[in-house]
Structure 1
Amino acid sequence: MTANTPALNRRLRRLRRRLAIVSTVAAGGLLLVACGGDDMEGMDHGSGSSASASSTPAAGDNPAPGAFNDADVMFAQMMIPHHEQALEMSELAEGRASDTEVKALVADIEKAQDPEIRTMKSWLKAWGKPESAEGSMPGMHHGSGDMDHGSGMSGMMSEADMNKLQAAKGTAFDRMFAEMMIEHHKGAITMAEDEQKNGRNATARKLAADVVKTQSAEVEKFEKVLDRI
């Protein structure tokens, strides 16, 4: 499908606002990790006290059973908009991409990331957490915090990047898409590696491991595409 420019831009602005909030939360979380080290294992889901059985949803109703911590919540809240932008980029490939392998990779991205978004949303619902870090910090000012791909945190594309991608076609689109998706994937890999290191929930850490494995392989494929076209 061909994305409508105003609608696409509105979605991008929402994603960037959400990532801006999460980036601030992430900075605070990393500081806590640096200061607290392994002591974070004893913390619950943001209250700062020891986790109790009553604060964990029953296993039958919980798609990510077991204990979780702030790093698990942050991972889901960050990765959802990150995946959503990857799907936005993939939508632009229809009618624009010309390379067979690029088209195949687009299909792989859509097949993997759409279900992962639904999965992570189900975790947050079961954990009693909002889908966006913005929802848990209503007093935070959005202002100048908008992230772009130059922030180095997540590999998110800016609105200008997405507009350039939308305007490209054929081989120019294929090359631009591959370059952007490599950067985007590397951001996801970094976020997933942070979850593997700092997260507590086994299900969340397993998905993070899958992201690292799958997207690292796709980065290699995109790099080969760039060498070829």
Structure 2
Amino acid sequence: MTRYRRTVIVATLLMLGGCASAPSGTGAAPAVPAPGPAGSATPAPADAAGAFNEADVMFLQMMVTHHGQGLELVRLVESRARRTEVKTLAAAIEVTQDAEQETMRDWLRGWGRATSADPNAHAHADHGGLPATGPEQIAALARTSGTEFETAFLNLLIAHQHNAVEMARVETGAGVHPESLDLARRIDLSRTAQINQMLAMLPSAR
């Protein structure tokens, strides 16, 4: 990654991380990956201290899996998309979700729990089901490029981030671990913001 691109990504995170407002539904706010404390793109330091319950564990396990799927998506962008704005958004999402994923894994390890979701779909019924962006969809996206890729990518990532918002809202209603609740709130705000940003990108991607 070039020095210029790193600078653009950091600027995007700081500028957009500070303008996300509380959503009224899934998909209503400005846009960008979840900011950490003081506008940083990095989540709060991994700390397993404090009470937690099974809702916290399931949220983190499912979100780790969900983040992995999202990272697969955004890593296709650099070599396939045309527009700089799509590439910049994807790079910023990669930075944020990579850091969030490692933080969540650290919490789960601290609790002596598995760091990925149970593949049994029935185990996640109370949390809305397993993340839904499958390998077939990612493989199909990887076979496209240019405008076709951008349109398919944006539509797929909008749906993917909608799932993240839904999982985060289940956690804020059922979890008790303070750091996990804070992360869930930030995911709700930032992914809702990303959805709006990507919706605004779609008309010119067609």
How does the TM-score come out when normalised to structure 2? 0.71
Whole-angstrom distance in 2 between the partners of 1:133 and 1:186: 18
Which 5+ residue runs of structure 1 have no aligned equivalent? 1-61, 135-140, 147-151
Alpha-carbon distance, 1:99 to partner: 1.4
Alpha-carbon distance, 1:132 to partner: 2.7
Whole-angstrom distance in 1 between the partners of 2:169 and 2:146: 34
Whole-angstrom distance in 1 between the partners of 2:81 and 2:117: 34
Alignment equivalent of 2:65, drawn from 64, 68, 81: 81
Percent sequence identity over matched residues? 37
Whole-angstrom distance in 1 between the partners of 2:136 and 2:109: 33
Alpha-carbon distance, 1:154 to partner: 5.2
Alignment equivalent of 1:186, drawn from 146, 149, 162: 162
Per the alignment, residue 82 of structure 2 pairs with: 98
Alignment equivalent of 2:146, drawn from 154, 160, 170: 170
SS at match of 2:114: coil
Instruction: Number of aligned residue pairs: give it.
Output: 156
SS at match of 1:68: coil
Whole-angstrom distance in 2 between the partners of 1:193 and 1:154: 15
Per the alignment, residue 64 of structure 1 pairs with: 48
Per the alignment, residue 199 of structure 1 pairs with: 175
| Runs (4+) off by over 3 Å | 152-155
Letter aligned with residue 77 of structure 1? Q
RMSD, matched Cα: 2.1
Which has more radius of gyration?
A: 1
Q: 1:77 to 1:155 in 2, by over 3 A?
A: closer
Q: 1:109 to 1:154 in 2, by over 3 A?
A: farther
Per the alignment, residue 134 of structure 2 pairs with: 158
Alignment equivalent of 1:119, drawn from 103, 106, 114: 103
Q: 1:133 to 1:165 in 2, by over 3 A?
A: closer
The one-character-per-residue Cα deviations of 1:54-76 (angstroms, maximum 9, x if unpaired) are: xxxxxxxx703211000000011
Letter aligned with residue 207 of structure 1? L
Per the alignment, residue 219 of structure 1 pairs with: 195
Higher relative contact order (CA 8 A, sep 6+): 2
Tell me if the contact between 1:155 and 1:185 (Cα under 8 Å) persists in the aligned partners.
no
Alpha-carbon distance, 1:158 to partner: 2.3
Tell me if the contact between 1:64 and 1:204 (Cα under 8 Å) persists in the aligned partners.
no
